[in-house]
Structure 1
């Protein structure tokens, strides 16, 4: 199994998405300088980063959903998907949940969405992909 950022907790609430996990498969210590890296899954090449706290082989970070609203969904569609990674500037690890023996999390683990009223009802929802990686779905305002 490739090295990755193993997600233990995903907490979408109060206008933030809090992420807690551990490094899996790294060769060497996970020292400071790590950050959450959100990479938009389209041809815009956009990315957002947020600091994380690292202690031992564990990390904890959070991102405000207003940052995603500010990045918008402009571009190819009214829906934007962002893939979650952790990086120290040299190594980039995909965030996901693979060590729990639960396959098909996309249909099993459903997280609540949060809206950003000041951004016209912009909505953000974390989800697991078909490969059990963590991503974020962002939708422009309007009905679900």
Structure 2
């Protein structure tokens, strides 16, 4: 299996999304960062500290950072973990549950004009869906 950041826990609350998991298929030594990449504009990335102990990682990001002034109605952001040499896609593949997109639903968080919801893609990767307008 390809190296990746195996998500164990997703905690969307209090204006943050906290992620906990394990680095799978790659040595976890060195300094790691959480990267959040805007799918429509891959050059737009947000970078956050990731705490790593052994192969376990933990990081969080404020949902307010996902608001973009030029955004369409819906924006999607992809999540990776990086040590500077490699980028590992965040997802959940080791639990033998296929099709998480249809069965695992996370709550939305609202902040003024933005609604943010973590979700699993059809490939069981973790991404974020952002909608403008608090009533979304």
TM-score (structure 2 length as normaliser): 0.95
Tell me the CA shift for residue 13 of structure 1: 0.3
Aligned equivalents of 2:120, 2:103: Cα separation in 1: 9
Alignment coverage as a number of residue pairs: 136
Alignment match, 1:67: 65
Aligned equivalents of 2:57, 2:15: Cα separation in 1: 20
Instruction: Determine if the alignment matches structure 1 residue 128 to structure 2 residue 120.
Output: yes
Alignment match, 1:91: 86
Which 4+ stretches in 1 moved above 2 angstroms? none
**Aligned ranges 1:1-144 → 2 under 5 Å:** 1-26=1-26, 29-43=27-41, 45-69=43-67, 72=68, 74-75=70-71, 77-117=72-112, 121-144=113-136
Question: Cα RMSD between the aligned structures?
Answer: 1.3
Post-superposition Cα deviations, 1:45-91, rounded to whole Å, max 9, x if no partner, equal: 2110100100001100000111112xx1624x211100000001111
Tell me the CA shift for residue 32 of structure 1: 3.5
- The runs of 5 or more residues in structure 2 that have no matched partner are none
TM-score (structure 1 length as normaliser): 0.90
SS in 2 for 1:132: coil
